[in-house]
């Protein structure tokens, strides 16, 4: 593979249009897969690969490169079994076990994703990076949906590199010296109460992470706070924390940084939690949306 590099991490952009133009420079050549970008900034459709079969090392390497280039990648017509789903995830690292939701019997690494007429609130209906409350948050997540509503149920993804690069240089400098607390308590206990689950004996992860995270593979900087898990900025006043976080959440949610994925049965989305956030749209009640997710372990943000 030959790759023309993305803009270096130190590049400063004040204009979203300039970021969009620069992103077009991604021109990785692939030999074993076909990669079709969905937007200039984020998202690509992957074709020419059968994930129900074992993959060759070059295929795995090119899928990983596509993920690094495009932050979230999409596959169609991949009728995976649970074992095939886990095998695909393990090509990219050890699988994560969710701190709150149990998997199907015999599959602790599998996270069920299901909503129907009995659902009070879905998971993922706020912008977030998966389980960012962990001390070592997940590298990536691989969602396979099998049953879908007739209309709706899309997932939105946002490029956290572009969101950071669109900030003023002064705000970038200010944020680089700060950390923020991410807490699973508020998320999981609220969700469990809605389902009538008694979780009084559980202890949920809580961690502090840099607000500006450096991607361990690309070297690029991106914002790493989200409205789901982040509770406050450390070592600043409550008022300052609330004002800065509110601005960052609204900034990250701008359509300029986004791609919207429309699911079909047996579609797969594989996103990089280190450089993208996502939001599941719940516009299909009382219809069914159902599938499974595997999550790949990550490392400590820096």
- Distance between CA 237 and CA 228 in Å, rounded? 20
Containing 147, the helix (H) or strand (E) segment is strand 140-147
Catalytic, out of 70, 220, 289, 293: 293
Which range, of 5-19, 177-191, 219-233, averages the lowest pLDDT?
A: 5-19
pTM: 0.89
Tell whether the torsion through CA atoms of 20, 23, 27 and 32 is positive or negative: negative
Q: Is 293 a catalytic residue?
A: yes
Domain of 23, CATH number, reads 3.60.130.10
Q: Is residue 8 part of a domain?
A: no
How big is the chain, counted in residues? Answer: 302
- Distance between CA 278 and CA 285 in Å, rounded? 20
The confidence score (pLDDT) of residue 133 equals: 97
Q: Is residue 200 part of a domain?
A: yes
Q: Is 278 a catalytic residue?
A: yes
Q: Is residue 302 part of a domain?
A: no
CB 175 within 8 Å of CB 144: no
Q: Is residue 121 part of a domain?
A: yes
Q: Is residue 5 part of a domain?
A: no
Q: Is 70 a catalytic residue?
A: no
The confidence score (pLDDT) of residue 3 equals: 45
Catalytic, out of 85, 96, 130, 289: 130
For residue 133, give every residue at least 6 positions away whose Cβ sits within 8 Å of its Cβ, in sequence order, or none: 99, 182, 183, 184, 187, 204, 205, 206, 207, 229
Catalytic, out of 98, 274, 278, 289: 278
- The beta-carbon contacts of 9-12 under 8 Å, at least 24 apart in sequence, are 9/214, 9/218, 9/219, 9/220, 9/221, 11/165, 12/165, 12/169, 12/172
Q: Is 299 a catalytic residue?
A: no
What pairs with residue 293 in β-bridges? 111, 143
The confidence score (pLDDT) of residue 12 equals: 44
pLDDT for 182-206, tens place per residue?
Answer: 999 988 887 877 777 888 888 899 9
* pLDDT tier, 123 (very low <50, low <70, confident <90, very high otherwise): confident
The confidence score (pLDDT) of residue 214 equals: 98
- Distance between CA 238 and CA 235 in Å, rounded? 9
Q: Is residue 177 part of a domain?
A: yes
| Range(s) of the domain holding residue 234 | 16-296
The confidence score (pLDDT) of residue 121 equals: 85
Residue with tokens 């076909």: 34
Q: Tally the domains of the chain.
A: 1
Residue with tokens 């579609």: 267
Catalytic, out of 70, 85, 128, 274: 128
Residue 15: other Cβ atoms inside 10 A: 10
pLDDT for 30-83, tens place per residue?
Answer: 999 999 999 999 999 999 999 999 999 999 999 999 999 999 999 999 999 999
Q: Is residue 3 part of a domain?
A: no
Q: Is residue 4 part of a domain?
A: no
């Amino acid at each position: 593979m030959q790759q023309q590099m993305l803009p270096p991490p130190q590049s400063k952009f004040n204009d979203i249009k300039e970021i969009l133009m620069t992103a077009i420079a991604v021109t990785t050549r692939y030999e074993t897969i076909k990669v079709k970008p969905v937007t200039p900034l984020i998202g690509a459709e992957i074709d020419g690969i059968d994930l129900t079969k074992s993959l060759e090392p070059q295929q795995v390497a090119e899928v990983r490169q596509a993920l690094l280039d495009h932050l979230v990648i999409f596959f169609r017509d991949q009728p995976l079994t649970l074992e095939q789903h886990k095998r695909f995830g393990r090509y990219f690292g050890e699988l994560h076990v969710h701190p709150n939701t149990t998997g199907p019997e015999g599959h602790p690494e599998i996270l069920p994703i299901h909503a129907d007429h009995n659902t009070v609130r879905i998971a993922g209906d706020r912008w977030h990076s998966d389980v960012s409350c962990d001390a070592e948050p997940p590298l990536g997540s691989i969602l396979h949906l099998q049953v879908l509503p007739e209309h709706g149920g899309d997932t939105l993804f946002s490029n956290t590199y572009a969101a950071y690069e669109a900030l003023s240089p002064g705000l970038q400098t200010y944020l680089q010296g700060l950390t923020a607390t991410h807490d699973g308590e508020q998320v999981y206990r609220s969700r469990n109460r809605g389902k009538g689950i008694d979780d009084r004996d559980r202890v949920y992860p809580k961690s502090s992470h840099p607000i500006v995270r450096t991607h361990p593979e690309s070297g690029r900087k991106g914002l790493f706070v989200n409205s789901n898990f982040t509770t406050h900025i450390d070592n600043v006043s409550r008022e300052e924390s609330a004002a800065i976080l509110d601005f960052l959440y609204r900034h990250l949610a701008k359509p300029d940084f986004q791609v919207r994925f429309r699911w079909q049965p047996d579609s797969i989305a594989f996103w990089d939690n280190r450089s993208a956030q996502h939001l599941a749209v719940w516009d299909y009640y009382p219809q069914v949306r159902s599938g499974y997710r595997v999550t790949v372990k990550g490392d400590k943000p820096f």
